[in-house]
């Protein structure tokens, strides 16, 4: 078990439908997250915030909203998480909206594959996050990380990982799924997809509200 934790901030909301998630890293630091972890006996290193494009707040194109910006942020997240694992530190990603789970879990999946370890993902959320570009009501990519990690996503996002797909059904346990309300429910979504959910191993997303995916 790793006893050294690396805090990685990713202040962005490019994948979400409302603003605010970008304030997550600052809020967690103000709440003394690092000190709380240190009090448990872990060594904590805070590398500060990653950098990426600003939110252009544009409509979706071909079923994806802000795809280029989401790819850039997830590339930065993937590299930072991978670097942390390489030097033997447990990465703790401070989000940021939930699209960032794509880059963080891809990095962990590649680390597990290279070291011969079994990937285990705990996904805690009210939503499935298994939308695709053809069924999404909004184009927001924070509703697509699980489907992307399963290999159903934009080519530009899938290209970020070398382990394809990043996760298999047996790798993930989803906790917290609720019956979504009528405005969120999409009758065209296959029933098998509606039992899946969000928030990933080594990834923490902070947002002021549960926004529509």
Q: Is the pLDDT of residue 203 over 70?
A: no
What's the average model confidence in pLDDT over 188-199? Answer: 36
> Is residue 53 in some structural domain?
yes
> Is residue 156 in some structural domain?
yes
- pLDDT at residue 175, as a whole number: 86
- Prior bond of 165 cis (ω within 30°): yes
Mean pLDDT for all residues in the chain:
86
Q: Is the pLDDT of residue 50 over 50?
A: yes
> Is residue 126 in some structural domain?
yes
- pLDDT at residue 1, as a whole number: 54
Lookup: tokens for 121: 């993902």
> Is residue 210 in some structural domain?
no
Of 114, 136, 125, which is closest to residue 172 (Cα–Cα)?
A: 125
Task: Considering only residues 193 and 167, tell me which one the structure prediction assigns the higher pLDDT.
Answer: 167
Rounded Cα distance between 166 and 104, Å, is: 11
State the residue range of the domain holding 57: 4-204
> Is residue 106 in some structural domain?
yes
> Is residue 212 in some structural domain?
no
Cβ(11)–Cβ(22) under 8 Å?
Answer: yes
Phi, psi of 137 (to 5 degrees): -80, -15
pLDDT band at 183 (very low <50, low <70, confident <90, very high): low
pLDDT digits (tens, 9 = 90+) for 66-124: 999 999 999 999 999 999 999 999 999 999 999 999 999 999 999 999 999 999 999 98
> Is residue 211 in some structural domain?
no
Q: Is the pLDDT of residue 185 over 80?
A: no
Of 46, 127, 120, which is closest to residue 89 (Cα–Cα)?
A: 46
Q: How many domains does the chain have?
A: 1
CATH number of the domain residue 19 falls in: 3.40.800.10
Cβ(201)–Cβ(130) under 8 Å?
Answer: no
Phi, psi of 58 (to 5 degrees): -115, 160
pLDDT band at 179 (very low <50, low <70, confident <90, very high): low
Q: Is the pLDDT of residue 189 over 60?
A: no
> Is residue 67 in some structural domain?
yes
Return the residue matching tokens 């927001």: 140
Residue 151 DSSP SS3: coil
Determine if residue 98 is left, alpha or beta; phi over 0 gives left, psi from -120 to 50 gives alpha, anything else beta. Answer: alpha
Residue 121 DSSP SS3: strand
pTM: 0.84
Cβ(148)–Cβ(102) under 8 Å?
Answer: yes
Rounded Cα distance between 22 and 197, Å, is: 22
Residue 156 DSSP SS3: helix
Task: Considering only residues 120 and 199, tell me which one the structure prediction assigns the higher pLDDT.
Answer: 120
């Amino acid at each position: 078990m790793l006893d050294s934790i690396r805090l990685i901030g990713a202040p962005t909301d490019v994948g979400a439908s409302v603003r605010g998630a970008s304030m997550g890293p600052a809020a967690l630091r103000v709440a003394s997250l690092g000190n709380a972890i240190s009090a448990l006996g872990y060594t904590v290193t805070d590398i500060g915030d990653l950098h990426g494009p600003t939110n252009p707040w544009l409509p979706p194109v071909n079923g994806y909203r802000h795809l280029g910006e989401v790819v850039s942020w997830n590339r930065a997240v993937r590299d930072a998480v991978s670097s942390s694992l390489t030097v033997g530190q447990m990465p703790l990603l401070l989000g940021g909206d939930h699209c960032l789970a794509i880059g963080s879990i891809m990095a962990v999946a590649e680390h597990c594959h290279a070291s011969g370890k079994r990937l285990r993902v705990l996904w805690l959320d009210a939503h499935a996050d298994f939308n695709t570009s053809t069924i999404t009501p909004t184009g927001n990519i924070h509703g697509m990380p699980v489907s992307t990690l399963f290999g159903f996503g934009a080519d530009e996002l899938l290209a970020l990982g070398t382990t394809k797909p990043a996760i298999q059904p047996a790798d993930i346990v989803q906790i917290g799924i609720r019956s979504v309300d009528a405005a969120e429910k999409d009758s065209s979504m296959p029933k098998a997809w509606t039992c899946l959910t969000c928030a990933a191993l080594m990834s923490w997303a902070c947002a002021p509200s549960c926004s529509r995916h």
